[in-house]
């Protein structure tokens, strides 16, 4: 798709206020609203190693600290390391040729393995790591030297916490305690209460208390060599290399050790309002397909800019747009000014009626029926402020454009079937299949001070007919709705004034 590399000339305004190209938005078929990466709930579906494609259930991923046990990353350049085999060195002292002739069945030649980076040529041999006799596993693991101490501190803090919980329980029965004895420290009463609340008082020495750390007067002095010895910068690690291994942060290149490769994840996206998935990938790491993919691209008419005449202040220019209906149903498109409300409407016998699926859905299942504990609180986020404002006026047509459904077979049909639509010749300049090109007029604003060469944006609201095929309690039949979406188009740079 050309979208991947193109600047975003045509952008749609999501329900959350984000402004994105059609390729980056979703369409929730349940809320009938546009959603995007910013306003959906992302969830981690599965973890996998991008090198060996192994995927593990999440408890195991946690146990392995989200790292692949087989694959390593180069500690210098962070690319994946490959395992290299080499013939085992001949044992010194012995006489292998004699042994070989003695044994009838020749043992397979021994091999040793080492890790090597094909990008920067780092090898585990450079780092002084002994070669291994098995291809996978067996590489020495570096353990944090402070682990035992930290575990003791962790245990101790758990005990402190339970004590704090007990104390706060007790406090409920003696709410008015005085802490006068602390006044001499001139601490605020707030801090005194805190002190009473949690602090590990030295007298409460217990067997579970880890040895407190002892501060020392001795400090490691700066080596006098630093003033005289030349520094070979190629042997000193960069900060980036150090931070990849936080507990070691080796200063010298030859102290670097290979690091286990981190798992990547596949994630699904869920509409935050109705909790339906708008995107769910297949579980297997090899698959690039989706179980659910409600991309807006399949539901909302796509708008592309064909051409736009040079833009001059106070002069009308012709703007040609190509519209495409991606759905299986015929749609009617109308364009309105930006200020139009974008609440969906439906035409019934009684006339045009506003529909708000979001509230309708919540209304369906009376929340009062659920016990208050079970009911999920809905978290709402403020909409993003819309920073775009158009610098040109756009003259919108009053007639409706009808686009037939998508028909893949018609793509190859050159007979020029125009479906005999009664098009407004001033509006429609070309049509074929589910696509049509329309002509609009734009006029850069005179009152605004726009510099030459500045990118000009125009905006409008597009109303499109949508057929909702998801059956709900009220609507068993497909329901016809008119949905609206705001669009912003970058139509080109200002050439100059008349």
Partner 1 sequence: MSLYEGIRLISDKQTVVFDIGSAYTKYGYAGESVPRGIIKTEVKCPESGKIRKVFSYEDSQDLYQLLVEFIHLLFFRHVVVSPKDIKVIIVESILTPTEFRDTLAKVFFRHFEIGSLMLAPSHLVAVSTLGVSTALVLDVGYKEATLIPIYEGVPVLKAWQALPLAGHAVHECIKKELKTVLPNDGSDVEKTIEDIKVRTCFVTTIERSLKLQTDEPPIAPPSVKYPGVKTITVPGSVREKAFELLWERDNDNLSVPTMILDAIVKCPVDMRHPLAENILLIGGTTMAKGFLPRLKSELLTLLKSNLYSEKLKISTVKFHKAPSKANYTAWLGGAIFGIADLPLRCLTKENYLMSNRVPDWASLIDNQKSDSLINSM
Nearer CB in complex with partner 1: 193/304: 193
Residue 147 interacting partner from partner 1, Zn ion, none (CB closer than 5 to 8 Å by kind): partner 1
Q: End-to-end CA distance of the chain, in Å? A: 38
- Please report whether residue 356 would count as binding partner 1 according to CB under 8 A: no
- Please report whether residue 36 would count as binding Zn ion according to CB under 5 A: yes
Q: Which two tokens stand for residue 411?
A: 């793509």
What span, in angstroms and rounded, lies between the C-alpha atoms of 466 and 327?
A: 9
Binding range to partner 1, per CB under 8 A, among 321-329, 375-383, 431-439, 489-497: 375-383
- Please report whether residue 234 would count as binding partner 1 according to CB under 8 A: yes
Residue 119 interacting partner from Zn ion, partner 1, none (CB closer than 5 to 8 Å by kind): Zn ion
Tell me how many degrees the CA angle 11-12-17 measures, rounded to the nearest 5: 115
- Please report whether residue 115 would count as binding Zn ion according to CB under 5 A: no
CA 168 to each of CA 156, 175, 193: distance values in angstroms, whole numbers, following the listed order = 18, 10, 11
What span, in angstroms and rounded, lies between the C-alpha atoms of 70 and 49?
A: 9
- In degrees and rounded to multiples of 5, residue 438 shows phi and psi of -115, 160
Per DSSP, helices labelled H in 314-434 are: 357-364
Q: Which two tokens stand for residue 56?
A: 């593990």
Please report how close the Cβ of residue 399 comes to partner 1 at its closest, in angstroms.
Answer: 35
Size (the chain), residues: 498
Binding range to Zn ion, per CB under 5 A, among 1-9, 25-33, 92-100, 186-194: 25-33
- Please report whether residue 200 would count as binding partner 1 according to CB under 8 A: yes
Residue 52 interacting partner from Zn ion, partner 1, none (CB closer than 5 to 8 Å by kind): Zn ion
| Contacts of 403 by beta carbon, 8 Å cutoff, 6+ apart | 301, 323, 324, 325, 330, 331, 332, 333, 434, 435, 436
What span, in angstroms and rounded, lies between the C-alpha atoms of 89 and 102?
A: 20
- Binding test (CB under 8 A) with partner 1, winner from 54, 126, 131, 164: 164
Is 442 in contact with 491 (CB distance < 8 Å)? yes
CA 211 to each of CA 69, 143, 208: distance values in angstroms, whole numbers, following the listed order = 35, 22, 9
Is 74 in contact with 112 (CB distance < 8 Å)? no
- Please report whether residue 382 would count as binding partner 1 according to CB under 8 A: yes
- Please report whether residue 193 would count as binding partner 1 according to CB under 8 A: yes
Please report how close the Cβ of residue 16 comes to partner 1 at its closest, in angstroms.
Answer: 10
| Contacts of 409 by beta carbon, 8 Å cutoff, 6+ apart | none
- In degrees and rounded to multiples of 5, residue 223 shows phi and psi of -65, 130
- Please report whether residue 117 would count as binding Zn ion according to CB under 5 A: yes
Nearer CB in complex with partner 1: 190/349: 190
The size of the interface with partner 1 (CB under 8 A), counted in residues, is: 91
Binding range to Zn ion, per CB under 5 A, among 36-44, 133-141, 415-423, 470-478: 36-44
Interaction with Zn ion in 315-374: which residues (CB under 5 A)?
A: none
Binding range to partner 1, per CB under 8 A, among 38-46, 113-121, 129-137, 441-449: 38-46
Binding range to Zn ion, per CB under 5 A, among 38-46, 323-331, 342-350, 487-495: 38-46
Interaction with partner 1 in 241-260: which residues (CB under 8 A)?
A: 242-244, 246-247, 249
- Please report whether residue 295 would count as binding Zn ion according to CB under 5 A: no
Q: Please return the burial class of 468, using the count of CB atoms within 10 Å of its CB with bins 0-12, 13-18 and 19+.
A: buried
Nearer CB in complex with Zn ion: 254/348: 254
| Contacts of 140 by beta carbon, 8 Å cutoff, 6+ apart | 129
- Please report whether residue 493 would count as binding partner 1 according to CB under 8 A: no
What span, in angstroms and rounded, lies between the C-alpha atoms of 132 and 112?
A: 6
| Contacts of 462 by beta carbon, 8 Å cutoff, 6+ apart | 301, 303, 333, 334, 335, 336, 484, 485, 486, 487
- Please report whether residue 170 would count as binding partner 1 according to CB under 8 A: no
Mask for 49-88, x = binds partner 1 (CB under 8 A): ----------x--xx-xx----------------------
- Binding test (CB under 5 A) with Zn ion, winner from 32, 61, 271, 334: 271
CA 185 to each of CA 124, 150, 181, 399, 419: distance values in angstroms, whole numbers, following the listed order = 58, 32, 9, 81, 90
Tell me how many degrees the CA angle 226-227-233 measures, rounded to the nearest 5: 50
E strand or H helix at 290, and its extent?
strand 290-293
Binding range to partner 1, per CB under 8 A, among 40-48, 313-321, 398-406, 482-490: 40-48
- Please report whether residue 374 would count as binding partner 1 according to CB under 8 A: no
Closest to 365 (Cα-Cα) out of 376, 380, 349, 354 = 376
Q: How many CA atoms lie within 13 A of 396 on its CB side?
A: 18
Nearer CB in complex with Zn ion: 361/399: 361
- Please report whether residue 43 would count as binding partner 1 according to CB under 8 A: yes
Residue 68 interacting partner from partner 1, Zn ion, none (CB closer than 5 to 8 Å by kind): Zn ion
Please report how close the Cβ of residue 172 comes to Zn ion at its closest, in angstroms.
Answer: 44
Please report how close the Cβ of residue 55 comes to partner 1 at its closest, in angstroms.
Answer: 13
Residue 249 interacting partner from Zn ion, partner 1, none (CB closer than 5 to 8 Å by kind): partner 1
- Binding test (CB under 8 A) with partner 1, winner from 97, 228, 372, 420: 228
- Binding test (CB under 5 A) with Zn ion, winner from 10, 11, 13, 14: 14
Q: By the criterion CB under 5 A, which residues form the site for Zn ion?
A: 14, 16, 18, 28, 30-31, 36, 38-39, 49, 51-52, 68, 70-71, 74, 76-77, 117, 119-120, 122, 271, 273-274
């Amino acid at each position: 798709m050309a979208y991947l590399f193109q600047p975003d000339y045509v952008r749609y305004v999501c329900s959350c206020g984000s402004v994105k190209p059609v390729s980056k938005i979703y369409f929730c078929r349940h809320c009938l609203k546009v959603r995007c990466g910013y306003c959906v709930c992302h969830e981690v579906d599965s973890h996998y190693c991008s090198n060996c494609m192994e995927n593990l259930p999440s408890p195991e991923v946690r146990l392995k600290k989200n790292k692949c046990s087989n694959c390593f990353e180069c500690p210098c350049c962070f690319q994946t390391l490959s395992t290299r085999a080499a013939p085992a060195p001949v044992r010194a002292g012995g006489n292998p040729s004699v042994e070989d002739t003695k044994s009838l069945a020749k043992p397979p030649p021994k091999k040793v393995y080492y890790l090597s980076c094909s990008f920067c040529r780092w090898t585990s041999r450079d780092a002084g790591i002994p070669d291994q006799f098995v291809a996978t596993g067996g590489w020495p693991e570096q353990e944090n030297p402070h682990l035992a101490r930290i575990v003791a501190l962790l245990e101790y803090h758990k005990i402190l916490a339970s004590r704090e919980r007990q104390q706060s329980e007790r406090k409920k029965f003696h709410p008015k305690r005085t802490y006068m004895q602390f006044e001499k420290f001139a601490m605020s009463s707030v801090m005194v209460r805190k002190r009473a609340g949690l602090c590990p008082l030295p007298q409460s020495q217990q067997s579970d208390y880890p040895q407190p750390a002892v501060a020392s007067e001795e400090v490691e002095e700066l080596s006098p060599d630093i003033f005289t010895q030349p520094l070979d910068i190629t042997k000193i690690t960069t900060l980036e290399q150090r931070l990849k291994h936080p507990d070691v942060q080796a200063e010298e290149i030859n102290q670097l050790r290979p690091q286990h490769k981190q798992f990547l994840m596949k994630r699904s996206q869920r509409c935050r309002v109705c909790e339906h998935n708008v995107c769910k990938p297949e579980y297997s790491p090899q698959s690039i397909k989706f179980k659910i993919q409600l991309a807006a691209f399949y539901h909302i008419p796509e708008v592309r800019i064909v051409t736009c005449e040079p833009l001059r202040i106070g002069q009308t220019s012709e703007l040609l747009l190509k519209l495409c209906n991606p759905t299986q149903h015929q749609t009617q498109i109308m364009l309105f000014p930006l200020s139009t409300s974008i609440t969906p409407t439906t035409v019934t016998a009684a006339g045009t009626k506003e529909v708000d699926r979001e509230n309708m859905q919540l209304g369906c299942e009376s929340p009062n029926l659920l016990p208050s504990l079970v009911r999920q609180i809905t978290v709402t986020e403020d909409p993003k402020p819309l920073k775009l404002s158009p610098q040109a006026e756009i003259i919108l047509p009053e007639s409706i454009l009808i686009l037939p459904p998508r028909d893949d077979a018609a793509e190859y049909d050159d007979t020029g079937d125009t479906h005999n639509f009664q098009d407004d010749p001033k509006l429609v300049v070309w049509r074929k299949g589910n696509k049509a090109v329309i002509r609009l007029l734009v006029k850069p604003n005179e009152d605004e001070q726009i510099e030459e060469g500045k990118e000009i944006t125009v905006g409008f609201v597009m109303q499109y007919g949508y057929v909702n095929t998801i059956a709900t309690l009220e609507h068993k039949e497909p329901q016809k709705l008119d949905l609206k979406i705001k669009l912003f188009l970058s139509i080109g740079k200002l050439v100059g004034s008349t």
